[in-house]
């Protein structure tokens, strides 16, 4: 054994199901991934582009499941319950060099605008990196 890393406890697979936190402090819980690769969950954002009070919002997504890849690609949509906006995330579930699962994602946040002339400023883009939250009691 080298360097305090026990290869026995290293995940060989990256699994989406569970609780995650990102670099902004937002958390999400992803439920079971079904036979077709579909999943549901909940997203608690730490930040908002609005002045509304943040509420936990549902997410729906799908994971690529063809040929049992161990670092699957995925996407999900968050339909914000406290704003008129929608965010889509897409990314890949990796096992990093320390054996830790990490979700590397990019997102598009579409805000509602009243007029088509404001369409040009209605979409934000960014990245988020999620790590698994240790099981809570």
Per CB under 6 A, which region of 29-37, 41-49, 61-69, 95-103 contacts ligand BTN? 41-49
Q: How far is the CB of 108 from ligand BTN (least distance, A)?
A: 9
Tokens of 104: 């590397």
Q: How far is the CB of 137 from ligand BTN (least distance, A)?
A: 25
Tell me 112's DSSP state.
P
Q: How far is the CB of 91 from ligand BTN (least distance, A)?
A: 12
Q: Does 105 bind ligand BTN (CB under 6 A)?
A: no
Per CB under 6 A, which region of 7-15, 29-37, 62-70, 80-88 contacts ligand BTN? 80-88
Closest residue by Cα to residue 75 from 100, 45, 105, 96: 105
Tokens of 26: 């937002």
Number of H helices, E strands in the chain: 0, 8
Reduced to 3 states (helix: H, G, I; strand: E, B; else coil), residue 104 is: strand
- Residues whose CB is less than 8 angstroms from the CB of residue 56 and which lie 6 or more positions away in sequence, other chains included: 42, 43, 44, 81
Q: Does 83 bind ligand BTN (CB under 6 A)?
A: yes
Residue closer to ligand BTN by CB (options 52, 70) is 52
* Binding interface with ligand BTN (CB under 6 A): 22, 24, 26, 45, 47-50, 80, 83, 85, 87, 107, 109, 126, 128
């Amino acid at each position: 054994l080298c360097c305090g890393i026990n290869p026995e406890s290293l995940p060989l697979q990256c699994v989406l199901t569970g609780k995650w936190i990102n670099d902004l402090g937002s958390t999400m819980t992803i439920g079971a991934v079904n036979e077709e690769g579909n999943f549901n969950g909940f997203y608690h954002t730490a930040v908002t582009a609005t002045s509304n009070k943040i509420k936990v919002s549902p997410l729906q997504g799908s994971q690529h499941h063809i040929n049992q890849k161990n670092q699957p690609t995925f996407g999900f949509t968050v339909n914000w319950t406290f704003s008129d906006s929608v965010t889509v995330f897409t990314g890949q579930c990796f096992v990093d060099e320390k054996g830790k699962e990490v979700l590397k994602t990019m997102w598009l946040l579409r805000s509602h605008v009243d007029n088509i002339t404001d369409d040009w400023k209605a979409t934000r883009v960014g990245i988020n990196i999620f790590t698994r939250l240790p099981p809570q009691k």
